[in-house]
Chain A
Amino acid sequence: MEEIAQKAAVYLAHKNLAGSDFEVTDLSRIHGGASRETYRFRARWTEGGERKERALILRRDPESSLIETARDVEFNAYRAFYPTGVPVPEPLYLETDEKWLERPFFIMEQVENCQAASPFGPDPYGPLADIIGEQFWRHLGTIAGQDPAAIGFAAASDYPALDTCWKVALDYWEGEIDGDALCPQPIAKGAIRWLRRNPPPPPKKIAVVHGDYRTGNFLYDDEGELKTILDWEMCHLGDPLEDIAWAADPLWAFNDPRPGSMIDRDKALAIWSEHSGIEIDPVALRWWEVFSAVKGLAIWISAGKEYEAGNNVDPIMAFSSWYCTDVHNRQLVGWMPDLIKAEGRS
């Protein structure tokens, strides 16, 4: 830790020519964030004759990640959304030169005095569930309602066609399953074949998709104010229903019928529609819900592969491969027979 603190201080001094006497203190690693090593720390420096201080977050690429994405995707998302009113931390520095901290990293504002909830226990928000749920779905609607080009996001991301964005997403995650599976995956493969036989109607618009918008990936304070939305590393352009389906996936609700253990589903979807300006097609949403379980399986399968190979031995990698794979497999076998019957094949 001490070595990282020293190197971070040197880097901050390099980036802040107006300041001097940089020091980094109280550096500690945050649990979770299996796609990046995440550290919180306090930076102190002298500027204009005054001693200054700021709480910051360092997100460094691990040697191997739960999600294989470039760190600039996440940093660019923060940069695009920071001026929009969607609560995100202020992004400060993106660094790809490995000379500073051995691996690429970025530094952003630390939003203090708030907490994240675990999706793997009952009723994580308690009496704050209603107030948090309203904000959770409102912010997701606001994200979907943004013009990607106007906020500067489109330039940093591939722009899929309306009628093929489902295929782009499915091809990617099926590729992850096929490439990383440690054993055959009959449930995922059966669900994927159903998804390909029954493509969703195209979205009305291509939107920014957060990619991992769920319980556990935002911070809130003691009054229930949602202070910041995190973990944008899977952010991309696509069908905005992808985010709804992922946020409402039963995995994040621990047997609670309320998506993410917050507010009722109908109310959540109504808030999202109001703030995105997008009407939800239930047939398309059902497709994206099945897709979400497949995407989840792909992530957990990849985590298991990285853990088994010894590339990333964070216990969360093994846990997600055991527990989350189990939940998503059971979810899909509960859904698929009815979906297949509804196809009406003779």
Chain B
Amino acid sequence: MKPNVQTVMMRSFERILTDIAPHLSSEYAVGSSSVIGLMMFQTATEFERAADIRVEENAAMRKIFSGAVGILPTGDLRFRVEQAASSSDPSLKISELDRANDELTGLLIEIQAHAETVEGLEARDLETQIWDELARAATARRLPHPITG
């Protein structure tokens, strides 16, 4: 698909902000079209990186699960964590990566909440690992702004 999606989104964003919004007479239409343009700007970035972000997050969570098994008591949670640690992404489609990401993230919340109730260095280390990964992922998902980049 050429021109590529990023180029089309960026050009459309510029077009809306410079040529379309200023010529609309309704305040509501100006505001709404500007917001739509801004989201096109952000979509340009997201389209390029979306699969990469999800694959990396999913891999990072599976790695955390592998290391977390030791502090989990035998039972359902431990079984599900072991299963998730050895799982893989079904494809590179965003919808399927999102589905896997949601399942892994739900489990991450469970083991984080569990670790908070457990005493000992291993549990504290696990908490730190999880917050480090959440911070890394949140930074990677940072949406660009036309002013700050």
A binds B: yes
Is B3 on the interface with A (CB-CB < 8 A)? no
Determine whether the beta carbon of A322 is less than 8 Å from that of B148. no
Is A73 on the interface with B (CB-CB < 8 A)? no
In the complex where A121-B147, A319-B35 touch, is A31 in contact with B30 (Cβ < 8 A)?
Answer: yes
Is A342 on the interface with B (CB-CB < 8 A)? no
Is A15 on the interface with B (CB-CB < 8 A)? no
Query: Which A-chain residue is minimally distant from B112 (CB atoms)?
Result: A190
Is A184 on the interface with B (CB-CB < 8 A)? yes
Taking the closest CB of chain A, its distance from the CB of B125, in whole angstroms, is: 12
- Taking CB atoms, residues of chain A closer than 8 Å to B32 are 31, 314-316
Determine whether the beta carbon of A31 is less than 8 Å from that of B28. yes
Determine whether the beta carbon of B119 is less than 8 Å from that of A346. yes
Query: Bound state CA distance, A28 and B26, in angstroms?
Result: 7
Is B75 on the interface with A (CB-CB < 8 A)? no
Mark each residue of chain B from 92 to 118: 1 if its CB lies under 8 Å from any CB of chain A, else 0: 000000100110011011001100100
In the complex where A189-B113, A315-B32 touch, is A330 in contact with B108 (Cβ < 8 A)?
Answer: no
Taking the closest CB of chain B, its distance from the CB of A253, in whole angstroms, is: 13
Query: Bound state CA distance, A326 and B144, in angstroms?
Result: 10
Is A155 on the interface with B (CB-CB < 8 A)? no
Is B74 on the interface with A (CB-CB < 8 A)? no
Interface of B is mostly: helix
Q: How large is the interface on A (under 10, 10 to 19, 20 to 34, 35 or more residues)?
A: 35 or more
Taking the closest CB of chain A, its distance from the CB of B9, in whole angstroms, is: 14
In the complex where A184-B109, A186-B112, A193-B116 touch, is A330 in contact with B139 (Cβ < 8 A)?
Answer: yes
Query: Which B-chain residue is minimally distant from A315 (CB atoms)?
Result: B35
In the complex where A315-B32, A315-B36 touch, is A187 in contact with B27 (Cβ < 8 A)?
Answer: no
- Taking CB atoms, residues of chain B closer than 8 Å to A319 are 35, 38-39
Interface of A is mostly: helix
Mark each residue of chain B from 3 to 45: 1 if its CB lies under 8 Å from any CB of chain A, else 0: 0000000000000000000000011101110011011001000
In the complex where A183-B105, A326-B142 touch, is A336 in contact with B28 (Cβ < 8 A)?
Answer: no
- Taking CB atoms, residues of chain B closer than 8 Å to A30 are 27-28
Is B134 on the interface with A (CB-CB < 8 A)? yes
Determine whether the beta carbon of A329 is less than 8 Å from that of B26. no
Is B1 on the interface with A (CB-CB < 8 A)? no
Is A103 on the interface with B (CB-CB < 8 A)? no
Is A162 on the interface with B (CB-CB < 8 A)? no
Is A172 on the interface with B (CB-CB < 8 A)? no
Determine whether the beta carbon of B134 is less than 8 Å from that of A186. yes
Is B53 on the interface with A (CB-CB < 8 A)? no
Query: Which B-chain residue is minimally distant from A39 (CB atoms)?
Result: B28
- Taking CB atoms, residues of chain A closer than 8 Å to B139 are 330, 333
Is A84 on the interface with B (CB-CB < 8 A)? no
Taking the closest CB of chain A, its distance from the CB of B97, in whole angstroms, is: 12
In the complex where A333-B138, A334-B135, A337-B131 touch, is A186 in contact with B109 (Cβ < 8 A)?
Answer: yes
Is B82 on the interface with A (CB-CB < 8 A)? no
21 sampled A-B residue pairs with Cβ under 8 A: A28-B26, A30-B27, A30-B28, A122-B147, A183-B105, A184-B102, A187-B138, A189-B113, A190-B109, A193-B116, A197-B116, A255-B148, A315-B32, A323-B38, A326-B138, A326-B141, A333-B131, A333-B134, A337-B135, A346-B120, A346-B124
